[in-house]
Chain A
Amino acid sequence: MLKIRWFRGQWLHITFSRVLLYVVMIALVCFTALPLIYLISTAFKPLDELFVYPPQFFVKNPTTKNFSDLVVSLGSSTVPFTRYAFNSIVITTIIVLCTVIVSCMGAYSLVKLQPPGGKFLFNLILVALMFSAHVTKIPSYMVVNGLGLINTYGALILPNIAVAYNIFLIKQFMEQYPNELLEAARIDGAGEMKIFLQMVMPALKPATATLTVFSFVNNWNDYFSPLIYVTSQAMKTLPLALQTIGGGAAGMSVGRAGAVAAATFLMTAPTVIIFVIKQGQVMETMTYSGIKG
């Protein structure tokens, strides 16, 4: 064990296990950070560096040409890039808001109020967890078509609100919420809505923050629903636009590789930002007041 004088007269204790902990952590972080480093550096790579094999992680001659390429390639298309961005932002925001509310209400009801058929619904949710949406896309398309939602925001928003995984996640958190608090509130004459809004929701803040991040990332990167439910250019979202820039689904054209890298960088930025903002809340401890062993 080593003792080193730290600033402000504190002692820094260096033990073998602590050093080991940091070494392991830093090694793991190095591996994990690779995609991010690659993403950032690729956005600033000149064309000749983009196609080097094996891929280089660090850019040698950084350039912003990729971003100007992106602007040029977008200038030629009929729908401005900002429209795609607007679509993505509006759709994702509405989905996240609705799914948080619907999942929290559903989970609260399933865990604390036990409605008739609640057990069945929970089993249904478990089954739904195992299904990939991709297999039922054609029947889903028929539903959306039947509702007359094709080529509207509704087609992109509605199918993504009642997601089994989201309610399952909130339910796991909800089970830790003490019944005593609910009973106390009921005895004090609070209505169910008041209890839900003023007691349960604030206590579920870490869970809703987690759900917000998950839902945002999933829907922001969702490539499949706009591909199927939307045919008009003006309704498309960023992931589809990205492919259009790259030269269609068939194959990426070489000349646009730089523009795609820049666009990818721009597209990923919001997800990283929202996580950085929310991560403090995600980690916040569940409030444990009221429970005494």
Chain B
Amino acid sequence: MKEKQVKAKPVKENPAPKKEAPVKEKKRFRLDLHKKNSLKGLVFVAPFIVGIALFFVYPIYMSLRLSISEQVAIVGMKMQGFTIEHFVKAFVVDTEFVPTFVDVVKQTLTKFPLTIVLSLIIAILLNRDLKCRGLFRVIFFIPFLLGSGEVMQQLLNQGVDRSVLNIMDGKLIPYNVLSYFGDTIMNAVQTVFGLLVKVLWGSGVQILLFLSGLQSISPALYEAAKIDGATEWEIFWKVTVPMISPMLLLNIVYTVVNSFTDISNPLLAYIQKYGLTDAEFSYGSALGWIYFAFIGVLVAIIFAVMQKYMHTSEVEEVKKRERKHRVFTIEKAPKRTFE
């Protein structure tokens, strides 16, 4: 309604520049609406901004300042001057930092592709019409509920993940048969099982996220694909994967970041030792910044790579179509009036 009124006004007032005026007026109108919307948006996002400024931006700023200045007094965290001594120390003087770092990176890089693939497979299986689906779903998610709790720590301390075979002892897997093959194979099988168990325990969230991604794909797409004669394999790669690509990105970022910022991560314990226990705040912060610069670069790479293969969301496509549509009407409308 409003648009029509705005359009109509300039035509009445000065009919000479017929073609330009309506376009100009429309632009100004849209800008105003945009401004209004964005102001409203600011109100909506304000609580979040306050929270993140207080408990993220300021602490981050402080820790950055700590890492590049000399610590004068522990009480009140007085600091002075500018120095990169702490960063140099981490690589040159500290003999433990670099090996621990490499270890953590290695562990993460072996675990995260396994987690993603396994959880996607499980989510797809769960999305089929299984009997007792709810039960399966709950069971897969339960390790996450225990995840940071005492129980998981106890289990891992006792080496349960490695000795799954011993525990199952002859009940599920013929343990004795394996022992004929010798120690090397025994060990290899145990390691594989241990890794599998650990990965399964760590993929509750990923399964849940993939599942909600899968559920939001409209069945019409699958129907259309089937009618066009696509096989299950083709449907998976050409419908499922593109449609859940936002979830895939979220999951990959979540998995990588989560395993790097896990409490049981030895490097974080190392950083914390300096930052909290030994009260060497500056050195602790410097280590933290090196670590997170690395994670940042890694995640940036993931984003850059994924963006290429990312399926543009339906919303964006609709927007594009809208824009086309608008151009179409603007061009066509005057023609009709002239005829």
Residue among A22, A39, A180 with the highest chain B CB neighbour number at 10 A: A39
- Tell whether, in the assembled complex, residue B41 and residue A35 are in contact, meaning their CB atoms are under 8 Å apart: no
Is chain A's binding surface mostly helix, strand, loop or mixed? helix
Q: What are the residues of chain B within 8 A of A172 when measuring CB–CB?
A: 246-247, 250
User: A62-70, A84-92, A267-275: which lies at the B interface?
Assistant: A267-275
Q: What are the residues of chain A within 8 A of B50 when measuring CB–CB?
A: 162
Residue among A28, A36, A130, A142 with the highest chain B CB neighbour number at 10 A: A130
- Tell whether, in the assembled complex, residue A39 and residue B38 are in contact, meaning their CB atoms are under 8 Å apart: no
B130 on the A face (CB < 8 A) = yes
Q: Which of B45, B146, B152 meets A115, CB within 8 Å?
A: B45
| Contacts across chains A and B counted by CB atoms under 8 Å | 280
Q: What are the residues of chain B within 8 A of A29 when measuring CB–CB?
A: 136, 139-140
- Tell whether, in the assembled complex, residue B263 and residue A130 are in contact, meaning their CB atoms are under 8 Å apart: no
Is chain B's binding surface mostly helix, strand, loop or mixed? helix
- Tell whether, in the assembled complex, residue A192 and residue B40 are in contact, meaning their CB atoms are under 8 Å apart: yes
B48 on the A face (CB < 8 A) = yes
Q: How far is the CB of B225 from chain A (nearest CB, A)?
A: 13
Q: Which of A22, A106, A139 meets B44, CB within 8 Å?
A: A106
B167 on the A face (CB < 8 A) = yes
Q: How far is the CB of A25 from chain B (nearest CB, A)?
A: 6
- Tell whether, in the assembled complex, residue A176 and residue B38 are in contact, meaning their CB atoms are under 8 Å apart: no
**Bound state CA distance, A214 and B134, in angstroms?**
18
Q: What are the residues of chain A within 8 A of B215 when measuring CB–CB?
A: 206, 283-286
- Tell whether, in the assembled complex, residue B148 and residue A221 are in contact, meaning their CB atoms are under 8 Å apart: yes
Q: What are the residues of chain B within 8 A of A143 when measuring CB–CB?
A: 54-55, 58-59
- Tell whether, in the assembled complex, residue A121 and residue B49 are in contact, meaning their CB atoms are under 8 Å apart: yes
- Tell whether, in the assembled complex, residue A38 and residue B155 are in contact, meaning their CB atoms are under 8 Å apart: yes
**Bound state CA distance, A207 and B246, in angstroms?**
14
Instruction: Report the interface size for chain B: residues with CB under 8 A from the other chain.
Output: 102
- Tell whether, in the assembled complex, residue A35 and residue B42 are in contact, meaning their CB atoms are under 8 Å apart: no
**Bound state CA distance, A192 and B181, in angstroms?**
69
Q: How far is the CB of B139 from chain A (nearest CB, A)?
A: 5
- Tell whether, in the assembled complex, residue B145 and residue A102 are in contact, meaning their CB atoms are under 8 Å apart: no
Q: What are the residues of chain A within 8 A of B152 when measuring CB–CB?
A: 35
A57 on the B face (CB < 8 A) = yes
User: B86-94, B97-105, B270-278: which lies at the A interface?
Assistant: B270-278
Q: What are the residues of chain A within 8 A of B200 when measuring CB–CB?
A: 28, 31-32
Q: Which of A21, A162, A286, A291 meets B55, CB within 8 Å?
A: A162
Q: What are the residues of chain B within 8 A of A272 when measuring CB–CB?
A: 142, 145
A230 on the B face (CB < 8 A) = no
A129 on the B face (CB < 8 A) = yes
Interface digits, A277-293 against B, CB 8 Å rule (1 contact, 0 not)? 00110111110100101
Q: What are the residues of chain B within 8 A of A31 when measuring CB–CB?
A: 164, 196-197, 200
- Tell whether, in the assembled complex, residue B216 and residue A286 are in contact, meaning their CB atoms are under 8 Å apart: yes
- Tell whether, in the assembled complex, residue A108 and residue B149 are in contact, meaning their CB atoms are under 8 Å apart: no
**Bound state CA distance, A29 and B133, in angstroms?**
12
- Which residues of A are interface residues toward B (Cβ below 8 A)? 21-22, 24-25, 28-36, 38-39, 42, 53-57, 101-103, 105-106, 108-110, 112-116, 118, 121, 124-132, 134-140, 142-143, 147, 158-159, 161-162, 164-165, 167-169, 172, 175-180, 192, 196, 206-207, 210, 214, 217-218, 221, 223-224, 239, 242, 260, 264, 267-268, 271-272, 275-276, 279-280, 282-286, 288, 291, 293
Closest 6 interchain pairs by CB?
A162-B51, A113-B41, A115-B41, A109-B44, A139-B59, A132-B261
